[in-house]
């Protein structure tokens, strides 16, 4: 049985029984049971062996793993498959929950009309994923959907409901007043038991900021950074808090210190780039945004923002090159194709603009967005 070392010291052998799917390895890069033992062979070799034994997979084209992989790449054409998996009552709860979570990140505009059904599911995993997926929705819609789940029997679900409703003002003498007070008090109480963890301090800081307690939020984020100076999310959130308070200088110091600790963190470079844009330091902004794009694992939003910045600085050719590269490496991102169509038109290339617009329309149709 193949082994893997965890935490640098714990050598564990894999005792699981899994159906080998080297075909998925070829398309998504996922591991498979064959090559976990036959490490000197390729996924092609494993797939050929299965074919020679007469094994044929009937779900090669519609396996949920393909949709999850495409969604992780930002490809909106995965939307119909995600919806189908999320609504498949014959699928396992964890598979459906994964589809819902991916859908919330990729296409929150397609959560309806199924979202209320997922929130009412008897499976706590499905409810948890559905609660998570409501993040991008307007607070009024979240209030209507999530308030009944403030009394969910599962603590993890109630905790996430509290985070999703944190920005909701508590109106005195309303039916929701007691419910929200109990919910928020429980959230703070549970989180306060784990203040030795930077991640919990960061979560609590975000919650308190949403509740309007800027001082408490700042203290929590500072405590998180004191415990772990390399906590990127804590650092970025604190820098953003400084920005909202009008202290861009403090935000820049924080980001510069973070980059000095971890120069390969794309998020820090991206945040610094946006800060430099706001400060009017366009050359420095481009340097930071280029670094963020270079560190982005899958070309996506960082590349898109870099292209916009390049175009705004009169570097239209470089902007188009960045967008073309992004479209080639990770197709299926509508903002990239829309920018390609717009910038091509501005550059006087009507043929390219028309082609990109046609590709965009086809993509939106394939995703069910039209």
- DSSP codes, 118-177: HHT-S-HHHHHHHHHHTTTS-HHHHHHHHGGGGG-SSHHHHHHHHHHTTTS---TTSHHH
Largest CA distance in the chain: 71
Q: What is the mean pLDDT of residues 62-86?
A: 94
The model's confidence at residue 19, banded by pLDDT at 50, 70 and 90, is: confident
pLDDT over 70 percentage in the chain = 98
Burial class (CB in 10 A: 0-12, 13-18, 19+), 98: buried
Pairwise CA distance, residues 29 & 21, whole Å: 11
Work out the pLDDT band at 8, boundaries 50, 70, 90: confident
pLDDT in tens, 304-334: 999 999 999 999 999 999 999 999 999 999 9
Count Cβ atoms below 10 Å from residue 172 Cβ, excluding itself: 5
| Residue 4 φ/ψ, nearest 5 degrees | -145, 140
Q: pLDDT tens digits, residue range 201-243?
A: 999 999 999 999 999 999 999 999 999 999 999 999 999 999 9
**What confidence tens digit (pLDDT) does each residue in 260-282 have?**
999 999 999 999 999 999 999 99
Same CATH fold assignment for domains 195-290 and 296-370: yes
- Mean of all residue pLDDT scores within the chain: 94
Q: Which of 20-34, 76-90, 163-177 is the least confident region? A: 20-34
Cis peptide before 21 (omega within 30 of 0): no
pLDDT at 64 over 80: yes
Q: What is the mean pLDDT of residues 81-96?
A: 97
Answer yes or no: are the C-beta atoms of 288 and 296 closer than 8 Å: no
C-alpha to C-alpha distance for 102 and 178, rounded to whole angstroms: 33
User: Which of 57, 58, 56, 126 shows the shortest CA–CA distance to 88?
Assistant: 126
Task: Take residue 250 and report the two structure tokens written for it.
Answer: 């403090």
Query: What 3-state class would DSSP assign to 10?
Result: strand
CATH of 195-290, one of 3.40.50.2300, 1.10.1740.10, 1.25.40.10, 1.10.260.40: 1.25.40.10
Predicted pLDDT at 140 = 95
Domain boundaries of the chain, sorted by first residue = 138-167+174-192, 195-290, 296-370
Residue 148 has pLDDT above 70, yes or no: yes
Is the pLDDT at 15 greater than 80? The verdict is no
Q: Report domain 296-370's class.
A: mainly alpha
Q: What is the pLDDT of residue 1?
A: 62
With cut-offs at 50, 70 and 90, classify the pLDDT of residue 105.
Answer: very high
């Amino acid at each position: 049985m193949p082994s893997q070392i965890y935490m640098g010291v714990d050598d564990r052998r894999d005792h699981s029984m899994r159906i080998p799917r080297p075909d998925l390895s070829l398309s998504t890069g996922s591991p498979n049971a064959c090559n976990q033992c036959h490490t000197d062979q390729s996924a092609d070799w494993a797939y050929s062996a299965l074919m020679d034994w007469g094994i044929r997979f009937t779900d090669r084209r519609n396996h949920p793993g393909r949709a999850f992989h495409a969604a992780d790449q930002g490809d909106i054409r995965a939307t119909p498959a995600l919806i189908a998996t999320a609504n498949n009552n014959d699928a396992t709860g964890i598979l459906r929950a994964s589809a819902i979570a991916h859908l919330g990140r990729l296409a929150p505009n397609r959560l309806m009309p199924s979202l209320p059904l997922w929130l009412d599911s008897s499976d706590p995993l499905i409810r948890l994923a559905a609660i998570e997926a409501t993040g991008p929705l307007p607070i009024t819609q979240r209030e209507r959907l999530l308030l009944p789940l403030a009394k969910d029997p599962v603590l993890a679900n109630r905790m996430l409901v509290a985070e999703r409703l944190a920005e909701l003002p508590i109106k005195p003498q309303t039916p929701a007043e007691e419910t929200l007070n109990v919910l928020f008090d429980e959230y703070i109480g549970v989180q306060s038991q784990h203040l030795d963890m930077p991640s919990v301090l960061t979560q609590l800081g975000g919650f308190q900021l949403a509740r309007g307690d800027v001082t408490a939020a700042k203290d929590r984020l500072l405590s998180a950074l004191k415990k772990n100076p390399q906590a990127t999310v804590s650092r970025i959130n604190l820098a953003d808090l400084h920005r909202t308070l009008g202290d861009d200088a403090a935000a820049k110091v924080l980001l510069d210190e973070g980059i000095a600790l971890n120069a390969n963190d794309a998020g820090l470079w991206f945040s610094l780039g946006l800060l430099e844009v706001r400060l009017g330091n366009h050359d420095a902004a481009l340097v930071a945004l280029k670094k963020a794009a270079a560190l982005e694992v899958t070309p996506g939003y960082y590349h898109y923002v870099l292209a916009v910045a390049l175009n705004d600085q009169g570097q239209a050719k470089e902007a188009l090159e960045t967008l073309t590269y992004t479209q080639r490496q990770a197709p299926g991102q509508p903002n990239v194709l829309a920018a390609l169509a717009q910038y091509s038109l501005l550059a006087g290339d009507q043929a390219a603009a028309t082609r990109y617009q046609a590709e965009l329309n086809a993509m939106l149709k394939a995703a069910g967005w039209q």
